[in-house]
Amino acid sequence: MKWNTNMPLIGILRGITPAEVHDHVAALLDAGFDAVEIPLNSPQWEVSIAQTVAEFGHRALIGAGTVLKPEQLDALHSMGSKLVVTPNTQPAVIRRAVELGMTVCAGCATASEAFTALDAGAQALKIFPSVSFGPDYIKALKAVLPPEVPVFAVGGITPENLSIYLAAGCAGAGLGGDLYRAGQSVSQTAQQAAAFIKAFKDATK
C-alpha cells in the first residue's frame, strides 16, 4: 500500500474532544484537507476517531497519531482507522499496522531510523521535529532515501515556511499547533486550514 491522498497535508487535531471533533474535521475537509490525525494523547480519542471515521472516512484518510504500542493498533483497526502516525521509529508498531492494511507515516530523525522504518513497511516518513533540523538537513537526508518515499515535515511548520520544506524535497507536511490548538474556535481552524492550503498551492504552481 502506498500513500494516497490528493493533498499531502495532514491535519493534526491534538487535544480535540468528541464534542468538538465533527465541526473541526468538517472545516479541514471543506478547506481541502483529505488526511486527518487525532493523536492518542487527546481526551477520549477512541470516541473521536470512531466518530470521525464513521462520518468522514469516505472522504478522507482518517486515523491516529502518537501511536506507540502495537496493541493500540487492534483497537484502531476495529473502528476503521486507516492512518497511523508515530512520533518515533518502532518497527513492531509499523509492522502490525501494515499487517492490518493501514497507511503508516513513521516518525524519524536520522538515516538509520528512516531505513529501519522503511524496512518495517512504512509507506511514508515524517521528519520530526523538522524545524529543529531545518530544511538543509532534510534535503541532505532525502539524497539517500528512495525517491518514491514521501517525506513529511512535521514540527514547527507554518504557512510562511511550508514552501521552504517543500523546496527541500518534502512531499508535504503534518500540521499541528499552527493549524489547531486545543480549545480554539472552528472559525480559527477554518482560517488556518485555508492559509495552509493556499501556501501549498502557491508553492507547487
Q: Are strands 103-108 and 83-85 parallel, antiparallel or unpaired?
A: parallel
Given 2, 71, 113, 126, the catalytic residue? 126
Instruction: Give buried/exposed letters for 79-93 (b at 16+ CB in 10 A, else e).
Output: bebbbbbbbebbeeb
User: Is 37 designated active site?
Assistant: yes
CB proximity list for 133: less than 8 A, separation 6 or greater = 109, 127
Residue 33 C-alpha cell reads as 484537507
DSSP codes joined into one string, 119-176: HHT-SEEEETTHHHH-HHHHHHHHTTS-TTS-EEEESS--TTTHHHHHHTT-SEEEE-
Given 20, 37, 82, 142, the catalytic residue? 37
The residues carrying an active-site annotation are 37, 126
